Chains A and B, each alone.
Chain A
Amino acid sequence: MIEKEVTVRNRAGIHARPAALIVQTASQYSSQIEFKKEHETINAKSIMGIITLGAGYNTSITISADGDDEEEAVDRLARLFENRFEEE
C-alpha cells in the first residue's frame, strides 16, 4: 500500500466535475483507492463520496492505494490535483 499527500489547487474546490474526473480516473485501476481528509476516509471510486468530502481550496487530502497498480493509480490521481483538474 502506498500513500501520497496532495492539496486542492483550484479555487472552486472539488465540485461535481472534478469529482467525476477523479472517479473516472480511479475506476481505470483495480487497486482499492481511498481519499483521506482529516479523519474522513472515502472510496475514490464513489462520486457522491468524493463530493461529500467537501474538499475546498487548499484542503489537503491523502490518497492511498492498495493493489497491483497502486503506484500508477496514485501518480495519475496526484497529477489531476497538480493540474487543477484542467480548470483555470
Chain B
Amino acid sequence: MDKQFTVLDLLDLDLKEHNDLDLTCMAGRPGLLRPIVTPDLNRPGLALNGFFDNFGSDRVQIFGRGEHAFVEKLVAEQHLDNVEQLFGREIPACVFTHGLEAPEDFTRIAEASGCPVLQTPLATSEFVMRLIRALGNVFAARETIHATLVEVFGIGVLILGDSGVGKSETALELIERGHRLVADDAVEVRRVAGNILLGQGANPALGHHMEIRGLGIINITHLFGVGSIRDDKQIQLICQLEVWDAQKAYDRIGAEERKLDILGVGTPYLEIPVKPGRNIPIIIETAAMNERLKKMGYYSAREFNQNITRWLDSENARKAYLQKKGIT
C-alpha cells in the first residue's frame, strides 16, 4: 500500500450490489480522514465492559444489536468511563449495524475524540462478511504487470511479452473472435483469498482502451460492444509471447506442467514462440480450451502418452510371445 487508506476511502469504495457496504456517516466527520491500517475487525463487547487487555484498537469497531443495547444501558446508567476509554484509544471508526442509532451521549464522546460514527442498514454478520471482503481486497498484495489480460472461453489468460511482440494485436484478434478484454498494457494483479490472482486494469478510469500501432488509441467498448469487455478476471493461464529462437527448445509434448510465480501464486505457464505465419490467437484459444479440459481432469498430453506406453507394452508382449513359440 503506497497510499493510506482512510475511513473516507471506505465510504467511497465503488462496490456492486451484493458487496455494497451501504455506509453513512452519522457523526464525527473530521475523523473520516483517519487511516485504516488492517483488514481486521473488532466487536468491542469486552472493551465496553472495561476489559482492555489485547484490545484491537487499530481495527474498525462493529456495534451490533448486543453492543448497541449495552451502550444504551451504559448511557441510561451514565457509566460512560469505558466508552470514553474506548474512544481514547484512537480507533479508526465505529459502525452501527441494523440501522441502529447511537445514543446521543455516545456520539458526543465520539465527536470529541474525533472518531467517525458510521451506520449501515445491513445485518451484522452480512456487513462483517462484506467488510472483510472489501478490506481484504484493499489490503491484498498487488503488483502492476506489463501485459494484456483477456478472458478466453471463460479462462483468464494473461499475455506477457516484450514491447512490439504483438500482445495487443493478439488480444484484438481474440476480441474480434468473441472473447473479452479485461485490461491492456498495464494489468494490476491482486492476490485475494490466499491463492487467487485477480487482474484488472491498473487505472479503471482509463477504461478499455488499446493502443494499436498504426491506428493509435481505440475504444474497445465502443467498437466491439459491452459484451467484449470485463472489469476483472482471475488469472488462470499465462502465455509468454516471444520471438522465435531457433536455438531454444520449445515444449513439444506438454506433459510437464510449468508454472510462473506471481505474488507467490503459481499459475500454468506456456511459452509461445511467435513468427510470421503462426496464428497466435488461435493457439491461445486452444491453450485456453486445453486448460479447461485439464480442470475437468483430462490431460491431453498425459493421456496420449499413456496410450502410447500401453501400445508399446502390448507390442512387446506379442513379440515376446511369438519368440517363445519360435514363430518370429
- B301 & A16 in contact (Cβ 8 Å cutoff): yes
Of B255, B316, B319, which contacts A16 at CB under 8 A?
Answer: B255
Q: A15-B305, A16-B301, A16-B305 are in contact. Are A56 and B312 (CB under 8 A)?
A: yes
Tell yes or no: B249 within 8 A of A by CB.
yes
Residues of A within 8 A of B253 (CB): 16-17, 19-20, 47
Closest to B251 in A: A20
In chain B, what residue has the closest Cβ to A54? Answer: B315
**Docked-complex contact B315 and A56, CB < 8 angstroms:** yes
| Chain A neighbourhood of B311, CB < 8 A | 54
**How many angstroms between the C-alpha atoms of A60 and B312 in the bound complex?**
14
Choose one: A16, A24, A56; the contact of B249 (CB below 8 Å). Answer: A24
Whole-angstrom distance from the CB of A40 to the nearest CB of chain B?
13
Q: Is B262 an interface residue (CB 8 A)?
A: no
Nearest CB of A to B246, in Å: 9
Q: Which residue of B249, B255, B308, B319 is within 8 Å of A51 (Cβ)?
A: B308
Asked if B316 and A17 sit within 8 Å, CB to CB, the answer is: no
Contacts of B319 in A (CB 8 A): 56, 58
| Residues from 34 to 49 in A contacting B, C-beta threshold 8 Å | 47
Count A/B pairs, Cβ under 8 Å.
42
Q: Which residue of B lies closest to A23 (CB)?
A: B252
Contacts A13-B316, A57-B316: A24 and B252 contacting too (C-beta < 8 A)?
yes
The chain B residue with its CB closest to the CB of A47 is B252
How many angstroms from the CA of A57 to the CA of B309 in the assembled complex? Answer: 11
Q: Name the residue of chain A whose CB is nearest to the CB of B255.
A: A16
Given contacts A16-B301, A17-B305, A24-B249, whether A54 and B312 have CB atoms under 8 Å apart is yes
Q: Do A16 and B312 form a contact, CB below 8 Å, given A23-B252, A24-B252, A47-B252?
A: no
**B284–chain A nearest beta-carbon distance, Å:** 21
Does the CB pair B312–A15 fall under 8 Å?
Answer: yes
Taking a contact as CB atoms under 8 Å apart, the answer to whether B313 and A17 are in contact is no
User: From B323, which residue of chain A is reached at the shortest CB distance?
Assistant: A58
In the complex, A19 Cα to B254 Cα: how many Å?
13
A12 proximal to B (CB < 8 A):
yes
CB distance from A18 to the nearest CB of B (A): 10
A residues near B51, Cβ cutoff 8 Å: none
Q: How near does chain A come to B47, taking the closest CB pair, in angstroms?
A: 64
Interfacial chain B residues near A15, Cβ < 8 Å? 305, 308-309, 312
Q: Give every chain B residue within 8 A of A58 (Cβ-Cβ).
A: 316, 319
Interface residues of A (CB under 8 A from B): 12-17, 19-20, 23-24, 47, 51, 54-58
Would you mind naming 13 contact pairs between A and B with Cβ atoms under 8 Å apart? A13-B309, A13-B312, A13-B315, A14-B312, A15-B309, A16-B255, A16-B305, A19-B253, A20-B252, A47-B252, A54-B315, A55-B312, A58-B319
| Residues of B in contact with A (beta carbons under 8 Å apart) | 249, 252-253, 255, 301, 304-305, 308-309, 311-313, 315-316, 319
The 4 closest A-B pairs by CB, nearest first: A13-B312, A16-B305, A56-B312, A56-B316
Q: 18 more A-B contacts (CB under 8 A) besides A54-B311, A56-B315?
A: A12-B312, A15-B305, A15-B308, A15-B312, A16-B253, A16-B255, A16-B305, A17-B253, A17-B305, A19-B253, A20-B252, A20-B253, A23-B252, A24-B249, A47-B252, A54-B312, A55-B312, A56-B319
